[in-house]
């Protein structure tokens, strides 16, 4: 039986440099408190990340990423939250799963650290497999999708390859993510959103993470050509969530959980 609405994954960035809220929740206590706020607003899942993946970001040391996320995951999982770890590293995923996470959200789809697939399989965790072509310092130079079908066909094919790799490693619970903003231009993000049917042909649940991303800022740019600031993109994101909600997505990854849940409530009331 399909879900009555998409699951809402609330973002907890335990980082100094994330594009939207970098530095706000770097301290463990602040991150845990923010997680509780998101739960109170209606989050179904908390996605805890210790590495910024914004364009141009520098990767943290493994030790720093572990120190950022493991204490936060331990506390929130102990309080009963469903926790996802947002990481590309097998070592971090392993520690996070041991601390109580039950979902691994790997934006690299196993390309950055292939061992993350076997780590996820060993824990019988859910694996969120995103489309990705390269790390933050190079990803915006990898936006060429010149084959037949353009970006939609390429993302479907490349994601399909990563799904096969995950299954070969023993992962049984899979969700796919088109990777909006990762090696994609603004126009390509819109093409992907209009072409989600192609991703659904993989036969797996789909997660969309569009919250406050640059393509929304470009859509709303000023007459002078300046993108709408990050903190002023939420209304557009909520409109997008409402449009996508009725298509049966598995989940949406968001910063503003309350606004998202409000939009989903309206959609649910309208479509029954």
Please give the pLDDT value at position 33.
Answer: 96
* pLDDT given for residue 39 in this prediction: 98
Q: Where are the domains of the chain?
A: 7-271
* CA–CA gap between residue 177 and residue 230 (Å, rounded): 22
CATH superfamily of 7-271: Dihydropteroate synthase-like (3.20.20.20)
What pLDDT is attached to residue 16?
81
Task: Report, as an integer, the average pLDDT of 102-109.
Answer: 98
pLDDT for the residue 4 = 81
pLDDT, tens digit (0-9, with 9 covering 90-100), for 113-156: 999 999 999 999 999 999 999 998 889 889 999 999 999 999 99
Question: Helices 62-78 & 90-99, crossing angle to 10 degrees?
Answer: 20
Sheet holding 45-49, edge to edge: 173-177, 126-130, 103-106, 83-86, 45-49, 7-13, 251-254, 207-208
DSSP string for residues in 112-126? S-THHHHHHHHTT-E
Task: Find all residues with CB under 8 Å of 152, minimum gap 6, and list them.
Answer: 191, 192, 195, 198
For 92-105, what is the mean pLDDT? 98
23 has pLDDT over 80: no
Residue 21 has pLDDT above 60, yes or no: no
Q: Which pLDDT value is given to residue 18?
A: 57
Strand pairing of 173-177 and 207-208? unpaired
Average pLDDT over residues 181-192: 96
pLDDT for 178 beyond 90 = yes
pLDDT given for residue 58 in this prediction: 84
**What would the mean pLDDT of 250-261 be, rounded to a whole number?**
97
Is 12's pLDDT higher than 60? yes
54-98 pLDDT, tens digit each: 777 888 999 999 999 999 999 999 999 999 999 999 999 999 999
pLDDT of residue 1: 46
Does residue 19 carry a pLDDT above 70? no
Residue 38 reports pLDDT greater than 90: yes
Does the pTM surpass 0.85? The reply is yes
d(CA 257, CA 264): 10
- Tens-place pLDDT, residues 198-254: 999 999 999 999 999 999 999 999 999 999 999 999 999 999 999 999 888 999 999
Q: Please identify every residue annotated as catalytic.
A: 213, 253
More confident residue, 16 or 109: 109
pLDDT for the residue numbered 2: 59
> Which residue shows structure tokens 């060993």?
122
């Amino acid at each position: 039986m399909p879900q009555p609405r998409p699951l809402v994954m609330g973002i907890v960035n335990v980082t100094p440099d994330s594009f939207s809220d970098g530095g706000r929740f770097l301290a463990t206590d602040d991150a845990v408190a923010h997680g509780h706020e998101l739960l109170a607003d209606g989050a179904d899942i908390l996605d805890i990340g210790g590495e910024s993946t914004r364009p141009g970001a520098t990767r943290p040391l493994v030790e720093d990423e572990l120190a950022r996320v493991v204490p936060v995951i331990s506390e929130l999982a102990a309080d009963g939250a469903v926790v996802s770890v947002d990481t590309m590293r097998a070592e971090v995923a392993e520690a996070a799963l041991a601390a109580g996470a039950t979902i691994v959200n790997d934006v690299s789809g196993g390309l950055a650290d292939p061992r993350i697939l076997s780590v996820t399989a060993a824990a019988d965790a859910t694996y969120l497999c995103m489309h990705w072509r390269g790390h933050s310092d190079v990803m915006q130079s990898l936006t060429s999708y010149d084959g037949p079908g353009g970006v939609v066909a390429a993302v479907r094919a490349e994601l399909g390859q990563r799904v096969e790799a995950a299954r070969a490693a023993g992962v049984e619970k899979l969700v796919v993510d088109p990777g909006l903003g990762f090696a994609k231009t603004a126009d390509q993000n819109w093409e992907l959103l209009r072409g989600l049917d192609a991703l659904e042909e993989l036969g797996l649940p789909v997660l969309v993470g569009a919250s406050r991303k640059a393509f929304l800022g470009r859509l709303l740019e000023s007459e002078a050509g300046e993108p709408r600031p990050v903190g002023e993109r939420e209304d557009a994101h909520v409109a997008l969530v409402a449009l996508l909600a009725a298509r049966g997505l598995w989940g949406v990854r968001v910063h503003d959980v309350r606004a998202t849940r409000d939009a989903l409530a309206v959609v649910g009331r309208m479509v029954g």
